């Protein structure tokens, strides 16, 4: 399961951060997930609780921030909102879009002790 691997890597990041910044407990993890990241937030939530057991983030609250996907339309020469990866431009219908936002998967904020 893809989401478990993501949780594993979050766990490793948090463990490394706790050593680097001297904290022992993570209370809250704020994750930013783009709609094009290919992640199921529910599966991620489930995996998170399981994977964080025994780590600095055991019992931490997981907050997921949805962000919007955007693309650059070469035809319109401007940024337009998109819903999915192969969407056409909502203004001109062109498929010559370059995704500029929506693929992110990153830790945006941490609340630690
Ligand atoms: Zn366009």
pLDDT digits (tens, 9 = 90+) for 36-61: 999 999 999 999 999 999 999 999 99
Other Cβ atoms within 10 Å of 28 Cβ, number: 13
Reported as a single tens digit per residue, the pLDDT across 75-111 is 999 999 999 999 999 999 999 999 999 999 999 999 9
Give alpha helix (H) positions in 22-102: 41-51
Cα(86) to ligand 1 centroid in Å equals 13
Cα(65) to ligand 1 centroid in Å equals 27
Is pLDDT of 27 > 60? yes
Q: ∠ CA(30), CA(13), CA(66), 5° rounding?
A: 25
Cα(9) to ligand 1 centroid in Å equals 37
Residues ≥6 apart with Cβ < 8 Å to 15: 55, 56
């Amino acid at each position: 399961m893809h989401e478990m691997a993501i949780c594993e890597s979050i766990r490793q990041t948090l463990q490394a951060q706790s050593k680097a910044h001297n904290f022992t407990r993570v209370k809250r993890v704020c994750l930013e997930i783009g709609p094009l990241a290919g992640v199921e937030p529910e599966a991620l939530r489930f995996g998170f609780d399981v994977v964080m057991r025994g780590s600095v983030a055991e019992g931490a609250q997981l907050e997921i921030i949805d962000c919007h996907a955007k693309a650059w339309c070469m035809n319109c020469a401007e940024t337009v909102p998109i819903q999915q990866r192969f969407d056409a431009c909502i203004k001109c219908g062109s498929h010559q879009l370059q995704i500029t936002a929506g693929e992110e998967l990153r830790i945006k904020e941490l609340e630690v002790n």
